[in-house]
Chain A
Amino acid sequence: MQNNVTNSVEPTAWSEVAPAQSEFRRVIRVFFSRKIAVVGLVLIVLLVITAIFAPWLAPYPPNDIDMANTLAKPSGDHWLGTDNLGRDVLSRIIYGARTSLIIAVGATAMSVVLGEILGLIAAYFGGIVFQIIMRFIDALMAVPMLLVALIMASLLGGGVKNVILALGVGMLSVHARMMCAQALSVKQNDYILAARSMGMGDMRMMIQEIVPNAFPALVVVATVGLGAVILAEAGLSFLGVGVMPPYPAWGKMISDGYKYILSNPALAFSPGIAIMLVVFGFNMMGDGLRDALDPRLRGVV
């Protein structure tokens, strides 16, 4: 205290506002103070590690058929047993993580980029542009996402690329609407008025003034969206219009396995639990991010 006193001769010595802690550190601190969010993060990190290191982690190649050893119960050799073609279930789940992640990231990236550009343009220019884009998005939204994907998959056929395309279009409306809502609210701020009053052009205005301020909400929605895409992909694969066999996919594994649900429950349940954990992980991480990035909590917590 005494130190403080002797230093305070200059009128600005401590009347200066204490520099607020950096935004990034605050976000990290809030995020990690939510236990459930950390659990989500751990699950997602595990998913990513599994996907990347699948060839090293999996005890068997995922598509090796062993007709002598079909529908084996879980054992020391096959921790989760084998399926009707004698393939190791654990290995297929590990490789399935790859499929899920590729599709989730691909479809989300596509829908985020396209959707947010559309939403941004609609919100920024308003008027007739807004009406055209948003009515199109509304129409897209009125059709259930799974149905959109089903139609596209049956037109284009299955396969990872087409599943990405189908789910990307399906998720488009979510991101477009989110961006539109965010941009409309950011547009209300005086700093947008200030930017216009200094003669800033439209492009710079959108990219430098609006997007960075809409960003936090978009990150949250994209995170939760990843989980939704994984769930939708599983649905498509389950219905047989998703990833084509023998490519390992969790949804397909459930649809193959549920016929043996009484005799060999691990076959259907283990990919089911994998899906559940991953979707749960993305949702919890999204919740944590929302708390951490929510401007209403800024400076309060």
Chain B
Amino acid sequence: MSVLLDVKNLRTHFHTHRGLVKAVDGVSFHINEKEIVGLVGESGCGKSVSMLSVMQLIAIPPGKIVSGSAMFDGHDLLKYKPKGDEMRAIRGAKIAMIFQEPMTSLNPVLTIARQVTETLELHLKMDTQTARKRAVELLKLVGIPEAESRLDNYPHQFSGGMRQRVMIAIALSCNPKILIADEPTTAVDVTTQAQLLELMQEMVNRFNTSLVIVTHNLGVVARYADRIYVMYAGRIVESGLSEDIFLRPLHPYTIGLLKSVPQLGQTKSDRELVPISGLPPNLIDMPQNCAFLPRCSYHKERCRLEPWPELHAVGAQHYVSCYVDTRETS
């Protein structure tokens, strides 16, 4: 398995009038070929910002990519100009993205045909007729019934789930190496979510694409992801194979998250939820030590005195950033 995208030490900061927000602060991750990776964390943990930074889609200012590299195809994406031709040739063609809101990510005044064929014509230099034919194929592929006749419809004539399918079709149209799905199913219902996730899995298998699922929902990634990164307050606190994260979690935050979500089939009489106390930190003027410390039930003296620990290996592919060996404590 070869590494497709290798991000090292990414830092993205935002300057706000209330202070410096270190939205992403020293994040390293990689994506292998034909792999499904989950990036999990709560809102504001920097999971979306990390992905947008790699794509150079951060608004500058207030944002700024302070340091880091993102090696893709032998080039560092972060060296490219955000609006330059090189970056444009990557976006949509080599690395495609789909977003949470299928309502707003499609342009309401353009037909579906225009929006699907646009990328085809732009990146693959297809002529209008070929692009249209390809668009029908793609829409059929993502399960849109009567694709030919629906091609000239406008986005508002599609339901939320259908729009997200169109987004998937557009994202896959140039056969990208990596598909980044940023909370792809948050705005849709459970049964639609199941449809979309199954579809995405099928599609990435068919197109040999790697998939990154960015989500706050642990359940969503459990079934599909090969590897998972858990983020908290701008950093990756734990990473590993899906089984490592869900069955042998080591970081107190991961452990806390798993204990605090209800599981299907268990009622209040079976298991009491153990919430994580306190609140997610406010990212302005963060202290140097572990950001999870104030909510951590495992913390030791060392956690208060020393800076945030680096990720260290605890298994073949299992990394955790914590001074405490939670296995001993529990």
Contact = CB atoms under 8 A, between A and B. Distances in A.
Given A14-B281, A15-B280, A5 B17 contact: no
Contacts of B293: 8
Interface residues of B, number: 17
Interface of B: 17-18, 277-282, 284, 287-289, 293-295, 304-305
A5 B303 CA distance: 9
Contacts of B295: 11, 15
Interface in A1-60: 1, 4-6, 8-18, 21
A301 interface: yes
Given A14-B294, A15-B294, A301 B17 contact: yes
Given A18-B284, A301-B17, A5 B279 contact: no
B304 A17 contact: no
Interface residues of A, number: 17
B306 to A, nearest CB: 10
B304 A6 contact: yes
A90 to B, nearest CB: 44
A15 B278 contact: yes
A15 B284 contact: no
9 contacts: A1-B288, A5-B304, A6-B304, A11-B278, A11-B294, A15-B280, A17-B279, A17-B282, A18-B18
B275 to A, nearest CB: 12
B287 A1 contact: yes
Residue in A9, A12, A15, A21 with the greatest tally of chain B CB atoms within 10 Å:
A15
B305 A5 contact: yes
B279 A4 contact: no
B294 A12 contact: yes
Contact of A5 (B280, B282, B287): B287
A162 to B, nearest CB: 49
Nearest to B19: A18
Given A5-B304, A8-B304, A13 B287 contact: no
Contacts of A14: 281-282, 287, 294
A5 B280 CA distance: 17
A14 B292 CA distance: 11
Contacts of B305: 5
Contacts of B288: 1, 5
Contacts of B18: 18, 21
Nearest to A16: B279
Contacts of B282: 14, 17-18
A10 B299 CA distance: 12
The 8 A-B residue pairs with the shortest CB-CB distance in the complex, in nearest-first order? A15-B278, A4-B287, A15-B279, A15-B294, A11-B278, A11-B277, A11-B294, A5-B304
Contacts of A21: 18
A5 B294 contact: no
Contacts of B304: 5-6, 8-9
